[in-house]
Structure 1
Amino acid sequence: MKLVILDRDGTLNHDSDEYIKSPEEWQALPGALEAVGRLNHAGYHVILATNQSGLGRGLIDVASLNAIHKRMMKQLAAVGGRIDAIFYCPHTPEDTCTCRKPLPGLLEQVADRFGVDIKGVPFVGDSLRDMQAAVAAGCAPHLVLTGNSESLRGSGLPPTFPAGTHMHLDLNAFVDALLKKTVDLAV
């Protein structure tokens, strides 16, 4: 199974220090939905793995989170894309769960649910904790310079990031690189 795992906030959509709490607040990053569609058309299953501590903080309820994801799915469908599954951690950092990134629990849930080995599967995110979770789960870490990492544009990867982290301007640039690599491997 061809699989790509994505973070949500800051990778697929604009992030907010105030949390995304309603469908109206969910705004896709330019070109991100089309990038997911390109992955789907190339035969990839796309999974979201996202921390949603707004649930644990009482800022949002599951019905609102589902409404946000319904809006996201509708917008994806309009450009020929889809997300095959959404995994989220509802906990706050103080909850000491195993599913909150930078721990690998969400990614391990993906492996268990789909019955696949996720070693080497691309995990795309916009933060250090995303890259740490990717490495801890054995995924290939891909950092997009959007959201939390937008300030890194024009500079190199900070030494705090795991070795082997690949940098891309945005989700479209990641898809360009992945599909080029796939084509190169097929030649």
Structure 2
Amino acid sequence: MTFLDDFIPQLLATLIGGVIGVFGVWWAFRLQRRAAARDDVDRAVENLLIRISDHVEAVEAYNSEFNMMRWDGTDKLGRTFPHAAPVSIAVELLRIRTSDEDREIADLLGATWSHVAHSTRVNRASAAGHMATAITRWRLGEPRDAVADSLETARQLSLPDDEVEVTSDED
């Protein structure tokens, strides 16, 4: 009888310890996966902000040359208008990396960028700047409404002057 009196508590303690250990490993693994996913989103956001910055810089350089008087009489610009593809690809990469609530914001960013990418050369830099502000607000944890407002400003700036939507503040 002493064997069973000693064996049963030892067996229960071992089984309970094993279950707690497996649960602890599973929980730690989940926490690590969430942290890795956040890091992936943060890297995608950083990449997107860099691409937006590079694009705005290239658009501003193009606009400066376009607006500059050319005394030599040529009408050909030395550079072509910058392509929006690097930013579009960075937006899609961000959309791939996000999930759940973050995916909703990433989809809004994608929709806004599609407007900004087709905006005029004059408005594009300003619209892209508001989009960058929205991205920063999102990652700093500001309310979704603040992020959506910045994205709406970017979208409105990207519209041609005759298509700007005027709304009342009294709603």
Structure 1 or 2: larger helix share? 2
Q: Same-fold call, TM > 0.5? A: no
Based on CA coordinates, which of the two structures has the bigger radius of gyration? 2
- TM bucket, shorter chain: under 0.3
What TM-score, normalized to structure 1? 0.25
**Higher RCO (CA-CA < 8 Å; seq separation 6+):** 1
TM-score normalised over the length of structure 2: 0.27
Higher strand share: 1
